Amino acid sequence: MPNRILVTRSSMPDFDEYIDEIRDIWDSHWLTNMGPKHKALQAMLKEYMGVENIDLFTNGHMAIELTLQALNLQGEVITTPFTFASTTHAIVRNKLEPVFCDIDPVTYTIDTDQLESLITDRTSAIMPVHVYGNVCNIEAIDRIAKKYELKVIYDAAHTFGETYKGQGIGTFGDASCFSFHATKVFNTIEGGAVCFRNLSLGKKLYDLKNFGIHGPEEVSAVGANAKMNEFCAAMGICNLRHVDDQIAMRKAVVERYNSHLEGVEGIQLNAVQKDVKSNYAYYPVVFDEKVFGASRSDVFEKLSENGIGARKYFYPLTNTFSAFHGKYDVNRTPVALHISKRVLTLPLYADLSMEDVDRICEIILSCKK
């Protein structure tokens, strides 16, 4: 059997490039605490993403969790269960109540037609999730949030490098939170960031990520520790030099998949969104067993037998986690439940060969009956 193909593969710079980037860390012995690499990456990302303000974090989850804390929210936060555990857990860990809204069946993002019906006098914020690189209905969310005076915190983990109508995706909402995990389009090994407009929010985020320390003898707030270290920042500096090339290579892989799978009955492919410059983060395929003749699980197992790792992503829904057993009614999000039981994300990374894409598609199509 050929070498196993994983669903993702971390982008990494040339070894010598990374060694050159970290060489001065050995000279300075400055390993963390917002050192030169941290500051350099922060400035580079601010320019690349076209945002007013950005701060770096040790990972994407702490970016979300501490943003919620910094906003001092109370009561309920409307979000979607079609997401990674981090989104829901960040809400719950802030002693807030997640209220789950269903998703749009085409983009898999929060269904803005249902948002207003979920708002109560306890609602303090909306946390929409950009999914697979698909962008939420930003205009509708902005209109509703202003009408009811709600905060908007985007989980933008899947949309690094994207623009909507020419504007950086991190510029929307009160804050947009990004993950720079090893599996993402852009990675710092582990890492994350928050983009924000209000400088007072930025000050609170800084306090929360650095113990509230403002000098060797000044601690003016109670905070945690969520600083990005210099080695992770150095990896980010290297990867950012190549991210546009990486995205272009990912686009070629997506186009190759499309050449095989577009128009196949029983398969729903990811929609192309108007006004969105995509980063080609994921390749989700939704299988209609009645039409295709094989279930998502059938295809998953067939790929696995052939050394190919696909992922049931997102499955299970966060509102079905055993950690919340019996607390939420999954039937209130029927579209999310339907998609979660039928979606597979196929292998997608910059250096995935076209021959491997062809083989993956051949195996998938062999399942059709």
Domain containing residue 116: CATH number: 3.40.640.10
Model pLDDT for residues 82-97, shown as the tens digit of each residue: 999 999 999 999 999 9
Assess if residue 4 is contained within a domain.
Answer: no
Question: 273: which 2 tokens?
Answer: 């969104």
My answer on whether 225 and 279 are in the same domain is no
pLDDT score at 124: 98
Asked if 68 and 208 sit in the same domain, the reply is: yes
277 φ, ψ (degrees, to nearest 5): -90, 110
Kindly tell me the number of DSSP H helices and DSSP E strands found in the chain: 12, 15
Strand 123-126, strand 53-57: pairing = unpaired
Residues 252 and 354 in one domain: yes
Which residues on adjacent β-strands are paired with residue 286?
268, 343
Residue 247 and residue 233 share a domain? no
Residue 140 and residue 168 in one domain: yes
Rounded CA-CA distance 153/139 in Å is: 14
Residues 32 and 89 grouped into a single domain = yes
We report the CATH number of the domain holding residue 325 as 3.90.1150.10
pLDDT band at 1 (very low <50, low <70, confident <90, very high): very low
Which pLDDT band holds residue 284 (cuts at 50, 70, 90)? very high
Is residue 41 a contact partner of residue 236, using CB atoms and an 8 Å limit? Answer: yes
Q: Which of 52, 345, 270, 275 is closest to 170 using CA atoms?
A: 52
Instruction: Assign 41 to helix, strand or coil.
Output: helix
- pTM comes to 0.97
Q: How far apart are CA 153 and CA 177, in angstroms?
A: 7
Supply the pLDDT for residue 2: 58
The count of structural domains within the chain is 2
Number of Cβ within a 10 Å radius of residue 40: 16
Final residue in a domain of this structure, among 215, 238, 261 = 238
Cα 300–302–307 angle (5° rounding)? 90
Residue 147 and residue 69 in one domain: yes
Q: Which of the 8 DSSP states describes residue 353?
A: -
Tokens of 188: 């710092």
For residue 9, the model assigns a pLDDT of: 96
Residues 145, 270 share a domain? no
Give a yes or no: residue 202 inside a domain.
yes
Mean pLDDT estimate for the chain = 97
pLDDT in tens, 210-228: 999 999 999 999 999 999 9
Q: Does residue 352 form part of some domain?
A: yes
Question: Residue 304: how many CB atoms within 10 A of its CB?
Answer: 12
Give a yes or no: residue 223 inside a domain.
yes
Same domain, residue pair 274 and 175: no
How far, in Å, CA of 252 to CA of 350, rounded? 9
Dump pLDDT digits (tens) for 119-139.
Answer: 999 999 999 999 999 999 999
The whole domain housing 315 covers 243-366
Contact in structure between 169 and 130 (CB atoms under 8 Å): yes
**Does residue 96 contact residue 77 with C-beta atoms inside 8 Å?**
yes
Q: How far apart are CA 14 and CA 238, in angstroms?
A: 9
> Is 60 contained in some domain?
yes
Look at residue 164 and tell me if it is in a domain. yes
- Of 219, 238, 257, the one marking the end of a domain is 238
Same domain, 267 and 218: no
Pick the last residue of a domain from 238, 272, 294. Answer: 238
DSSP per residue over 251-269, as a string?
A: HHHHHHHHHHHTT-TTEEE
- Identify whether residues 67 and 211 lie together within a single domain: yes
Same domain, 96 and 199: yes
Which of the 8 DSSP states describes residue 197?
S
The candidate with the shortest Cα–Cα distance to 128, out of 69, 64, 73, is 64
* DSSP line for 102-119: -B-TTT-SB-TTTHHHH-
2 occurs within a structural domain? no
The reported pLDDT for the residue numbered 3 is: 79
6, part of any domain: no
